């Protein structure tokens, strides 16, 4: 069972420091006669030994579902996007290719690999001894970093247990190293117990973690912080309070989630957090954005651009194409009416611009017909997504929705065969904006009203913080009851689009049949007539949780499969 896996590390973890990227080789922890390194060596060397052991755990966060250039391809299994190529692995979620035998077990394997590493390190902590290096000029710095490692690792173990909890529900809880035989007898632990473990660990380690590494030794920004620990706690409690994990509607769970989110909002200023302009959340310098709590920093490359630039742009592969379902949810700035409410039928794009006056987040997220994209001078041109257009059907791989992705895609990257350019990328794991939304949801269900001020800030006031940003300026929320729920779920989709939330939000709400079973896409004729059409996808409520990999069930007779699989 992968619970006790301790070899086969993913190398090349990059933690972005101040305008720097640090690369580390992997510590070989498979202690055999054939190895040139042994256990004693590993625990007596700092850089190539102990520190690499810690960074191997961080590396599992970078071990993405579908490859290095596609950390947000889960959008293609939601109403956010349609992946351009039918061969895309993400399509297996919606076309019947998903099963216990073909489970996308990356989450299971990477999480338990990381957890096994953490357990091993914590048990062998007393064996670490770098005293032979006490006359080295960096010795004091090494000791200072080593004092933080146990707390960072406990945070990471809690993080991976959250990943397992949200993916599978009940999972084995293992906090010690095990033999293979022992690992293959461990039963599943209840989700409530997993949640308690995560919350308790976050509370325990937070006081010992720095608020920022900007002033710490090495300034290795991107490591676990006190703020990240509280963010993980708050998100975990929100998921635990949601219908999927709270079928009885226990209001106390929502209250705990509200309190955890409130703690982040109340302390944001003290921690140096503030809401950013929307477009600054990604791009070359996003890793240092003051709204970011915890993110994945990538070194300079243009792989994501090649994966998501339109067909017709040199080396563009279309990738994640926003749906008409997504576009229909954006509201107009004048009165909050949605795109679909104002334009429910066919649209003559040659005589009107239905996109004028939309929420500014639309233009920052979606590339539409006629937009100049990419923005670099070498490739900039007006995009043609209509049938027969330069970037449209029937070209192979052209957008199936009439839209292309802008969010996270750096339009300044040149992807031509010659003179290519690259940029840094940051994938958001936690940011302040999410917790205004998390807080609003938790407070609404804890109090029963979007205008109840029991927790200080009402649910509506929290959402309006995001909609009142200088670069957004959208009509304020005033609704309550079911009308509020509908608008809130739309706001969450718009604000967090392509940040890897929608796939999980709809599952925890148990609303897959409502949002994911059918999606709307658009086709634009050569005469610029936009027509909606419906795509039907496979959905079954068993999809709310992943299947336990069949290979694990075969090895461990004490594991049970998730319902319906």
Per-residue pLDDT tens digits for 24-68: 333 333 323 333 345 665 666 676 678 888 888 998 887 666 665
Answer whether residue 195 shows pLDDT above 50. yes
CATH code of 474's domain: 1.25.40.900
- 200's CB contacts (< 8 A; 6+ apart) are none
Omega before residue 329 within 30° of 0, cis = no
* Confidence band for 280, pLDDT divided at 50, 70 and 90: very high
Answer whether residue 343 shows pLDDT above 70. yes
Answer whether residue 217 shows pLDDT above 90. no
Give the tens place of pLDDT for each residue, 115-126: 999 999 898 887
Task: Provide the phi-psi class of 505: left if phi over 0, else alpha when psi is between -120 and 50, else beta.
Answer: alpha
Answer whether residue 282 shows pLDDT above 90. yes
CA separation (Å) from 528 to 64, 345, 548? 38, 14, 47
At 49 the pLDDT is: 73
DSSP 3-state of 532: strand
CA separation (Å) from 399 to 212, 301, 318, 361, 368? 41, 23, 6, 21, 11
Answer yes or no: is 461 within a domain.
yes
Mean pLDDT over each residue of the chain, to the nearest integer: 89
Answer whether residue 155 shows pLDDT above 80. yes
Task: Provide the phi-psi class of 451: left if phi over 0, else alpha when psi is between -120 and 50, else beta.
Answer: alpha
- Provide the H-helix boundaries in 35-92: 39-42, 52-59
Answer yes or no: is 445 within a domain.
yes
Answer yes or no: is 248 within a domain.
yes
* Confidence band for 423, pLDDT divided at 50, 70 and 90: very high
Rounded Cα distance, 319 and 76, in Å: 9
Domain total in the chain: 1
- Report yes or no: 62 and 296 within 8 Å, Cβ to Cβ: yes
Answer whether residue 150 shows pLDDT above 90. yes
- 408's CB contacts (< 8 A; 6+ apart) are 72, 282, 304, 308, 425, 427, 498
Count other Cβ atoms within 10 Å, centred on residue 269. 9
Average pLDDT, integer, range 247-253: 98
Distance of CA 417 to the CA centre of its chain: 31
Q: Which token pair is 260?
A: 């955890």
DSSP 3-state of 296: strand
At 543 the pLDDT is: 97
Give residue for tokens 């610029």.
Answer: 528
- Report yes or no: 39 and 129 within 8 Å, Cβ to Cβ: no
Answer yes or no: is 30 within a domain.
no
Answer yes or no: is 250 within a domain.
yes
At 30 the pLDDT is: 34
How far the first Cα of the chain sits from its last, in Å, is: 20
At 197 the pLDDT is: 98
The least confident of 71-85, 161-175, 254-268, 375-389 is 71-85
Nearest to 272 by CA among 258, 292, 287: 292
Answer yes or no: is 244 within a domain.
yes
User: What are the backbone angles phi and psi of residue 40, rounded to the nearest 5°?
Assistant: -60, -40
At 31 the pLDDT is: 28
pTM of the model: 0.92
- 407's CB contacts (< 8 A; 6+ apart) are 282, 364, 365, 366, 497, 498
- 474's CB contacts (< 8 A; 6+ apart) are 331, 333, 336, 359, 467, 468
Answer yes or no: is 480 within a domain.
yes
Counting residues of the chain whose pLDDT is more than 90, the rounded percentage is 76
Average pLDDT, integer, range 476-488: 98
Q: Hey, which residues does 520 pair with through a beta bridge?
A: 534
Give the tens place of pLDDT for each residue, 356-391: 999 999 999 999 999 999 999 999 999 999 999 999
Rounded Cα distance, 550 and 96, in Å: 16
* Confidence band for 294, pLDDT divided at 50, 70 and 90: very high
At 131 the pLDDT is: 72
The domain of 244 spans 225-270+430-510
Rounded Cα distance, 412 and 373, in Å: 9
At 45 the pLDDT is: 64
Count other Cβ atoms within 10 Å, centred on residue 140. 11
Task: Provide the phi-psi class of 10: left if phi over 0, else alpha when psi is between -120 and 50, else beta.
Answer: beta
At 41 the pLDDT is: 56
The dihedral built from the CA positions of residue 394, 396, 397 and 398, taken in this order, carries a sign that is: negative
User: What are the backbone angles phi and psi of residue 358, rounded to the nearest 5°?
Assistant: -70, 160
The dihedral built from the CA positions of residue 353, 356, 358 and 360, taken in this order, carries a sign that is: positive
Answer whether residue 6 shows pLDDT above 50. no
* Confidence band for 73, pLDDT divided at 50, 70 and 90: confident
* Residues composing the chain: 565
Q: Hey, which residues does 372 pair with through a beta bridge?
A: 382
Average pLDDT, integer, range 273-294: 96
User: What are the backbone angles phi and psi of residue 443, rounded to the nearest 5°?
Assistant: -65, -40
* Confidence band for 13, pLDDT divided at 50, 70 and 90: very low
Answer yes or no: is 337 within a domain.
no
């Amino acid at each position: 069972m992968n619970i006790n896996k301790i070899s086969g590390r993913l190398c090349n973890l990059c933690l972005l420091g101040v305008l720097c990227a640090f690369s580390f080789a992997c510590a070989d922890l498979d202690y055999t006669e054939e190895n040139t390194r042994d256990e004693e060596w590993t625990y007596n060397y700092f850089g190539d030994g102990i520190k690499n052991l810690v960074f191997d755990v961080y590396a599992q966060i970078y071990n993405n579902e579908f490859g290095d250039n596609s950390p947000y391809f889960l959008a293609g299994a939601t109403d956010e996007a349609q992946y351009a190529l039918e061969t895309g692995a993400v399509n297996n979620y919606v076309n019947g290719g998903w099963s216990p035998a073909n489970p996308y077990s990356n989450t299971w394997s990477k999480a338990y690999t990381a957890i096994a590493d953490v357990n091993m390190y914590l048990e062998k902590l007393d064996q670490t001894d770098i005293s032979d290096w006490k006359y080295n000029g960096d010795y004091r710095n090494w000791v200072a970093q080593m004092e933080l490692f146990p707390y960072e690792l406990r945070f990471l173990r809690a993080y991976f247990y959250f990943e397992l909890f949200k993916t599978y529900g009940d999972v084995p809880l293992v906090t010690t190293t095990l033999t293979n035989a022992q690992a293959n007898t461990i039963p599943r632990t209840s989700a409530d117990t997993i949640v308690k473990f995560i919350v308790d660990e976050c509370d325990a380690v937070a006081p010992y973690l720095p608020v920022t590494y900007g002033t710490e030794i090495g300034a290795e920004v991107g490591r676990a912080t006190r703020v990240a620990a509280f963010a993980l706690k708050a998100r975990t409690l929100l998921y635990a309070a949601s219908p999927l994990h709270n079928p009885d509607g226990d209001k106390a769970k929502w209250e705990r989630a509200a309190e955890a989110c409130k703690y982040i909002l109340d302390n944001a200023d003290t921690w140096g957090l503030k809401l950013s302009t929307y477009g600054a959340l990604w791009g070359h310098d996003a890793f240092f954005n003051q709204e970011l709590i915890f993110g994945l920093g990538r070194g300079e490359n243009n792989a994501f651009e090649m994966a998501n630039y339109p067909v017709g742009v040199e080396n563009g592969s279309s990738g994640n194409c926003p749906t008409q379902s997504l576009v229909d949810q954006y509201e107009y700035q004048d009165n909050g009416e949605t795109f679909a409410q104002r334009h429910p039928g066919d649209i003559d794009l040659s005589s009107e611009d239905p996109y004028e006056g939309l929420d500014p987040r639309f233009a920052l997220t979606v590339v539409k017909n006629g937009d100049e994209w990419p923005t670099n001078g070498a490739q900039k041109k007006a995009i043609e997504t209509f049938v027969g257009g330069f970037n449209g059907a029937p070209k192979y791989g052209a957008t199936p929705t009439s839209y292309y992705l802008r969010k996270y895609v750096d339009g300044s990257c040149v992807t031509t065969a010659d003179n290519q350019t690259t940029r840094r990328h940051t994938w958001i794991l936690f940011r302040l904006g999410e917790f205004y939304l998390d807080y609003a949801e938790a407070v609404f269900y804890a109090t029963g009203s979007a205008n109840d001020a029991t927790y200080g800030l009402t649910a509506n006031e929290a959402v309006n913080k995001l909609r009142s940003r200088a670069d957004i300026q959208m009509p304020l929320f005033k609704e309550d009851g079911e009308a509020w729920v509908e608008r809130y779920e739309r706001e969450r989709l718009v604000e967090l689009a392509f940040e890897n939330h929608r796939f999980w939000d709809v599952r925890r709400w148990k609303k897959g049949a409502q949002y994911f079973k059918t999606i709307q896409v658009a086709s634009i004729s050569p005469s610029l007539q936009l027509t909606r059409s419906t795509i039907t996808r496979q959905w079954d409520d068993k999809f709310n949780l992943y299947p336990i990999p069949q290979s694990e069930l075969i090895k461990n007779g004490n594991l049970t499969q998730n319902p319906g699989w």
